[in-house]
Amino acid sequence: MTLRILYTDELRGLARSKVMVALWVGLPLLTLLLKLIQPNTEGVPLLIFAAVLVGSIGGTLSAVLLSTTITGERNRHVYDLFLTRPVRRGALLSAKFFAALTCLFVAALGSMGLALAVDAATGALAPGIAGQLGESLLVSIAGMAVASAVGVLFGVLINSVAVSAILSVYLGNQLSAIIILPAVFVEGLNVPLFAGLVGAVVPAILMVIAVAVFKRKSL
pLDDT in tens, 104-138: 888 888 887 777 777 777 666 666 666 667 777 78
* Contacts of 164 by beta carbon, 8 Å cutoff, 6+ apart: 67, 68, 70, 71, 154, 155, 158
CA distance 137 to 134: 5
What average pLDDT does range 85-114 have in this prediction? 85
Percent of the chain that is helix, strand, coil (3-state, to 5):
85, 0, 15
Higher pLDDT, 47 or 70: 70
- Find the mean pLDDT for residues 199-218: 89
By C-alpha distance, which of 36, 172, 177, 14 is closest to 115?
Answer: 36
Within 13 Å, how many C-alpha atoms sit on residue 205's CB side?
A: 7
Mean pLDDT score of the chain: 80
So where are the chain's domains? 3-216
Q: Give tens-digit pLDDT for 60-80.
A: 888 888 999 999 888 887 777
pLDDT at 94: 93
Q: Is the pLDDT of residue 166 over 80?
A: yes
Please give the pLDDT value at position 205: 94
DSSP three-state, residue 28: helix
Closest CA to 95 of 59, 66, 61: 66
Where does the chain show beta strands of DSSP type E? none
| Separation between Cα atoms, residue 27 and residue 104, nearest integer Å | 10
Residue-level pLDDT at 186:
72
Rounded Cα–Cα distance for residues 106 and 99 (Å): 11
How far apart, in whole angstroms, are the C-alpha atoms of residue 176 and residue 51?
13
